[in-house]
Amino acid sequence: MPSLKSLRLRITSVKSTQKITKALNLVAASKLRRAQQAAEAARPYAERMADVLSSLAGSIGDASSGPKLLSGTGRDQVQLVVVVTSERGLCGGFNTQIVRQARERIEALRMAGKTVKILCVGRKGRDSLRRFYADLIVDTISFVGLRQIGFAQAQEIADRVLGMFDAGEFDVATLIYSRFRNVMSQIPTALQMIPAKIEVSDAAQSKAAYEYEPEEEEILAALLPRNIAVQIFRALLENNAGFYGAQMTAMDSATRNAGEMIKKLTLTFNRTRQAMITKELIEIISGAEAL
C-alpha cells in the first residue's frame, strides 16, 4: 500500500499537470478561431487560382506543349514527397495521421520501383519519418518560434521545391498535409503539385475561344509557380487550424482524465489515512486493555 506522503505528492503532481493542460486548452481555443478563419479565407483564392489555370489549360489544348510545370518531365521515376506537420506536439494523433498517410504513399511508390525523396516541413514529421526513412530525407524546413504563418513561409518552401525541380532532382512532387474539417476532424490529404493536375472543365473549354495577351503559355509560366506557393500556403493554414483544433480536443480530454485521476487518488488517500488511523486506535485500545 502506498504511503500517505507518496499519494499526496502524486495528487499534487497531477493537479499541476491539470493546470498545464487546461491552460493549453484555453490557448488553443483562443488561437483556433483566427487560424480557422485564415484557412477558410484561403480556400476561395486557391480554388479561383485553379479555375484560372483550368481555363488557360483548356485554351492551349495539348498540355504537353505547355510550360514544364504543367507538362512535367515526361517521367515519374523520381518522386518528391513534401510532408507538412506541426512544430509542436500535445495534439493527439494529428501528426501521426499525416505521417501515416506519408508512409503509405512512400511505401506504395517504393513497391512500384520509384525513387523517393522526402522534404519535411515541421519538426514532428522529420522526427517520425527519420526513424524509417532517414536516408530519403533531403531537407527539413522548420519555422520554430514563428508566431504567425504568412505567405513568405509558403514562398520559401515553394522556392526550395522549384529549385529542386529546375535542377532535375525529381519528376513528380506531392504535398501531404491535413485538411481542416472541424475541431474534431482533420483529413490527411495528398495533392500533386508538379506536374500540376488541372481538370479542364466544359466551362473552361468554352472559354478557349478568347484571345489572351500575352499568350496562354506565357501566362501559365507566370501563374504556375505562383500556384505552387498558393497551394503550399493553403496547406500551411489548413495544418495550423487542424493543429489547434486537435490540441484543444486533446488537452480537454487530458484535463478531464486528470480530474478523474485526482478523484481516484484522493479516494485512495482518504482510505489509506482512515486505515492508518483505525490501526493506531486498535493498537492504543489493545495496549490499554493489556494494562
Cα angle for residues 54, 56, 57 (degrees, 5° grid): 65
Q: Which of 53, 69, 91, 232 is labelled catalytic?
A: 91
Q: How many residues does the chain have?
A: 291
Ranges of H-type helices in 61-111 = 68-71, 94-111
| 87 alpha carbon, distance to own chain's centre | 9
Position of cell 493543429?
A: 243
DSSP string of 141-183? Answer: E--TT-SS--HHHHHHHHHHHHHHHHTT--SEEEEEEEEEEET
Give the separation between CA 56 and CA 29, rounded to whole angstroms.
Answer: 42
140 to 45, 78, 81, 146: CA distances (angstroms): 27, 19, 12, 16
91 among known catalytic residues? yes
Residue among 191, 197, 201, 194 nearest 55 (CA): 201
Neighbours of 37 (CB within 10 A): 12
**Any idea which residues carry the catalytic annotation?**
91
